[in-house]
Structure formats: C-alpha cells, structure tokens
Amino acid sequence: MNKLVLVLLTLVFAFTAPVQASDESKEEPIQHYQVPDVTSMEDAERIFVETTAEMKSKKKLDQVELEQIHVVTYSLEKSVAYFAENLKGERQQLAKELAVVVEDIHLASENNRHEAAKAHLSNYFELAERFASGF
C-alpha cells in the first residue's frame, strides 16, 4: 500500500508544471492533472455543458466539493480556451471573459477558499448561461 501511495505521489509531482496566473490574483496554479487538448467544437461544447452541470451540482462547497471542482476545471479550461481561439466577435470576447473566471475558480478551489470560489462560481454561471445560449 505504501508503495502505491509513493508511486502515485511521484506521478503527480512528475507532471507538475506552472500555468499562467490569473489576472485577479497573480497566483500561479500548479498543473496537477494532465488532460487532453480539445480538438473540435463538438468536444468543446460537450465538455463545457458537462463540467458546468457538474459544478452547478455542488452546493456545500466544502473541501471535498472544492477539490472536485478543482479537478473539473482542468477540462473546462481546455474547452474555454478552444472557444477563445476558434470563435470570432462577441462570442470570442465572452469566451475570453469565461477563461479568466474559470482560472479564478481553479485557484480558489485549489486553495480551498470557499467564499472566493462561491463568488467566482456565481459569476461563471451567469456568463456560462449567456454563452451556452449560442449552442
């Protein structure tokens, strides 16, 4: 059992890499999880809808739920980045706004900051509803 824990910890630290900091906090999150790049609009939309629903289902925002949110933000970041790179005009601008808020959620959940996560999630759900109406 101890060997398994050691192997898992080694793998986690082996894949750790810095990521761009949020405009709001200037913190640098740690890349704990590797997720595949999003390569199609269909995948981006599916991931966006699924992760938004998963985050919306979290009501307590305790340490366990914040960790779950933290994990899904990795996929959500890839989805929103795909939108920001491949859309045009107003939709692209909204995707860029979403990217900043998703990063803020990522950092707040990663650092177990309940109130900050709650505020960023509220902002995200507002933006996400507007954005998803274009699907």
In the predicted structure, residue 48 carries a pLDDT above the cut 90: yes
Nearest to 73 by CA among 24, 32, 16, 15: 32
- Give me the chain's average pLDDT, please: 84
Find the mean pLDDT for residues 54-74. Answer: 98
CATH code of domain 18-132: 1.20.120.290
pLDDT of residue 73: 98
Domain residue spans in the chain? Answer: 18-132
Rounded distance between C-alpha atoms, residue 99 and residue 8, angstroms:
30
Q: What is the pTM of this model?
A: 0.76
In the predicted structure, residue 30 carries a pLDDT above the cut 80: no
